[in-house]
Chains A and B, each alone.
Chain A
């Protein structure tokens, strides 16, 4: 985990240190340059003032205390004999040069100024060390306050950063308070503009979650409600079985009990089918499967029901491959055919056709009463039962069909069948171009 506060702190302290060092160095170098000029000027002035004294009284003895410890003054006569040395005891500088010069004596650098007089040469010398000490002191004076301010700066940075991060903390606390039961949006009004987008995105996520949870809750409530009817029938028939006065009544109750249990099981299976095909993050890649075997299985599943209602079932198919889940496709076909069979009066027919048009089209048409156009949108709703719905339907069939179609990116259209009745078309999307030419891709040289 990285901490914004630690990163800011380190960066700011590094910056302060760098600035201090830079300022110190620059100061040192500037002071050094400036003092050099000044000292040079001083050296020259000293030499000039000595020349006049020396000229007037060549053998003048300068009192030793007048000579600054930092300076060494030497005077030579015209013959090169040293006639004056301000500080005996020091290593002798035996070189002279007129004007400014840098020389090294005993391993130490000196700055010297030589001046030609009528009767000799005056040389003033100063150790460079003096100048450097002067510059160092000046640089230190600049850096010192900066370094002294450092703890104060650290405290200030911590304060500023914490203060700056406070809205983040607040948002974190707000988010912490959210759970399945409370998905209220986070207040965005007084958030800084850097954090507001984050909070807004969170709010959008919360809203989506809330909607999903509510849909789920509604579904569970609906499901519980819907389960009540078949279970009421089961409990009713059980009680009737108990109190049946004769064998005939018992037989009837037993038979009806079986039918009620059957119905409860059917509803449960439909609920499971719907749950299995809920929209979600698909874990595995869709595979390309032929549509016909899945459709054939789905049709076979409904065969018994069709037979009992004297309805003629047929399947015609052109070769179509779609990206999909075979088991889900079978459930889709079974539900479509089941629905068609239930709504078609005995003696009618239900036709399933697979056409190779676009990405593939699966059509189920029946000879039943059809659905008026105004009602078509609602039939996909869960637990929606149309007026005069036949017995045994769960009201989930078309909702399951729609959920499975959506998983496959397919569209479900409701139309009138050519001979009256309903035609349901599941239109699969055209597969992407790369999948369209598997022959060329799969042909190795």
Chain B
């Protein structure tokens, strides 16, 4: 899962990045509204944490532009503006959730999961597919009721593929989900994770569409 953190306060951005990385997200950070708009135009994120009081361009403005483009990327506003009219404005501008600073990290994580769940059109917090159960809260995976131990990256790849069964994700798309801009990526890393997943979940769990990418078959 790739997250864009839009926050001009370096300390808060740093803390968020650390926390989100611990949760297994790939994190990118921008510190002003213009950079945020550019990042959102060029890169696909699974979820955006957006501060409102930003230099250059206000967060609301960035959000409106995103929605005008028809981009439905889930956006959680994370701001010091706590008045009701600010919250209404933020939600009406197209935000999926609104959190006021100072916040609880666990709550932010939970709200991000909830937003992601809804974006994927699911109500059940766990993703269940062909005998595989993935719980984003506990970050655990079961195969036919037996717990399976996955590395953080394996979990992220599986989560990305399970979000839309049948849809093919290219290696580059998966890398995008796994790493922020700054991360060093080994050329065959994705193949290694897929290999690990097939070993643990059965060779049929993830299929390859040669030359295009990977997918989990529909039921």
Contacts and interface: CB of A to CB of B under 8 A. Distances in A.
Interface of A: 225, 228-237, 239-240, 243, 245, 249, 252-253, 256, 259-260, 263, 385, 387-388, 391
Contacts of A391: 10-11
Contact of B102 (A235, A245, A249): A235
A232 B10 CA distance: 12
B19 to A, nearest CB: 6
Contact of A232 (B18, B22, B102): B102
B90 to A, nearest CB: 16
Contact of B19 (A234, A236, A385, A387): A236
A228 B18 CA distance: 20
Interface of B: 9-12, 14-16, 18-19, 22, 55-56, 80, 101-106
Contact of A233 (B15, B19, B104, B105): B15
Contacts of B106: 239
B11 A233 contact: yes
B15 A240 contact: yes
Nearest to A230: B11
Nearest to B105: A239
A388 B56 CA distance: 10
Contacts, number: 63
Given A228-B101, A239-B105, A387-B56, A245 B22 contact: yes
A381 to B, nearest CB: 15
A233 B12 contact: yes
26 contacts: A225-B80, A228-B80, A228-B101, A229-B9, A230-B11, A232-B12, A232-B101, A232-B102, A233-B9, A235-B102, A235-B104, A236-B15, A236-B16, A236-B19, A239-B104, A239-B105, A240-B18, A243-B22, A243-B105, A249-B22, A253-B18, A256-B11, A259-B11, A385-B55, A387-B55, A391-B11
Contact of B103 (A232, A234, A243, A252): A232
Given A229-B101, A385-B55, 14 more contacts: A231-B102, A232-B80, A233-B12, A236-B15, A236-B102, A237-B15, A239-B106, A240-B15, A240-B19, A243-B19, A245-B22, A256-B14, A387-B55, A388-B55
A256 B80 contact: no
- Tell me the interface secondary structure of chain A in the complex: helix
Contacts of B80: 225, 228-229, 232
A249 B12 contact: no
Given A240-B18, A240-B105, A229 B55 contact: no
B105 A229 contact: no
Contacts of B103: 232, 235
A425 to B, nearest CB: 28
Nearest to A226: B80
A35 B103 CA distance: 109
B113 to A, nearest CB: 16
A124 B16 CA distance: 132
Closest 10 pairs (CB-CB, A-B): A236-B15, A233-B11, A232-B102, A232-B101, A228-B80, A235-B102, A239-B105, A229-B9, A233-B12, A228-B101
Contacts of B22: 240, 243, 245, 249
A144 to B, nearest CB: 79
Contacts of A240: 15, 18-19, 22, 105
A388 B16 CA distance: 21
A236 B105 contact: yes
A234 B9 CA distance: 12
A256 B102 contact: no
A413 B163 CA distance: 61
A389 B1 CA distance: 32
Nearest to B11: A233
Contacts of A256: 11, 14-15
A259 B9 CA distance: 13
Contacts of A231: 102
Q: Determine which residue in A232, A253, A260 has the highest number of CB atoms from chain B within 10 A of its CB, and name it.
A: A232
B11 A263 contact: yes
A236 B12 contact: yes
A339 to B, nearest CB: 18
A272 to B, nearest CB: 21
B81 to A, nearest CB: 8
A236 to B, nearest CB: 4
Contacts of B101: 228-229, 232
A28 to B, nearest CB: 86
Contacts of A239: 19, 104-106
A337 B16 CA distance: 33
